[in-house]
C-alpha cells in the first residue's frame, strides 16, 4: 500500500502509475480532487488487491494530513508501507521582488508538508508495529546549488533534504527507510 502526495500531476502521477503497474494499491493524494481522480483513472488495477483510492489533502495542514491517514487506515486496515512526498509548488520571483506570502506558501507546502506527512506516516507505522516502511521525499538540485528567481523554492528543498536525512537517522531503528 502506497500513498503519494502530489499524485494528481507531474512526478507524483508518474510514481502512482509505476506503483500500480508493479501491483501496489495506491492512494492518490492531491489538493485537487479532479487531478487525483484523473490519475486514479489512469492506473492499472490488480483485481487481487484492495484497489486504489483518490483523496484530497492539503499537506500544509496537520488536520488534513491526519484525516488522510485516518481515511487510509479505515479503508485498508493498515497504514501505508510506502509514502512518497511529491507534493510541491513554485512561486518564482527575484529575491528583491519576492513577497512574504510567496515565500511562506512554498515553505508551507514543500517543507512543512513533507514534515507533516512524514511524521504522520511514521507515527502510524510505529503505532501498529509495522516491521518496515519506506518514506520517499522528492528533492531538487536547486536545494543544493540555488537558482535565480527561486530563493523560496531553494530554501524549501534544502530544508527537505535536511529533514529527510534526520528522519532517516531517527526512524531507522523502527525499520523505516527515508
Instruction: List the beta bridge partners of residue 103.
Output: none
Residue with the three cell numbers 528522519? 167
C-alpha to C-alpha distance for 27 and 135, rounded to whole angstroms: 14
CA distances to 65, 82, 88, 104, 131 from 124, in Å: 12, 12, 23, 28, 12
**Exposure string (b/e) for 80-115, b if CB count within 10 Å is 16 or more?**
bbbbbbbbbbbbeeeeeebeeebbebbbbbbbbbbb
C-alpha to C-alpha distance for 54 and 35, rounded to whole angstroms: 9
Q: Residue 139: is it exposed, middle or buried by C-beta count within 10 angstroms (0-12/13-18/19+)?
A: buried
| Of 103, 113, 153, 178, catalytic | 153
Sign for the CA dihedral angle at 60, 66, 67, 70 comes to: positive
Active site residue 76: no
DSSP 56: E
Catalytic residues: 153
Amino acid at each position: 500500500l502506497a500513498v503519494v502526495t502530489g499524485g494528481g500531476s507531474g512526478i507524483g502521477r508518474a510514481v502512482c502509475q509505476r506503483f500500480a503497474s508493479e501491483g501496489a494499491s495506491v492512494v492518490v493524494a492531491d489538493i485537487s480532487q479532479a487531478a487525483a481522480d484523473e490519475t486514479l483513472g489512469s492506473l492499472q488495477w490488480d483485481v487481487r488487491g484492495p484497489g486504489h483510492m483518490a483523496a484530497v489533502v492539503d499537506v500544509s495542514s496537520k488536520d488534513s494530513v491526519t484525516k488522510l491517514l485516518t481515511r487510509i487506515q479505515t479503508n485498508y486496515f493498515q497504514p501505508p508501507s510506502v509514502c512518497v512526498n511529491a507534493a510541491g509548488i513554485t512561486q518564482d520571483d527575484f529575491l528583491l521582488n519576492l513577497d512574504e506570502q510567496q515565500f511562506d506558501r512554498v515553505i508551507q507546502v514543500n517543507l512543512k508538508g513533507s514534515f507533516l506527512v512524514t511524521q504522520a506516516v511514521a507515527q502510524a507505522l510505529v503505532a501498529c508495529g509495522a516491521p518496515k516502511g519506506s518514506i520517499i521525499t522528492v528533492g531538487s538540485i536547486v536545494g543544493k546549488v540555488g537558482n535565480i528567481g527561486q530563493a523560496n523554492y531553494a530554501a524549501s528543498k534544502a530544508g527537505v533534504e535536511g529533514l529527510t536525512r534526520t528522519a532517516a537517522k531517527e526512524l531507522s531503528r523502527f525499520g523505516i527507510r527515508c
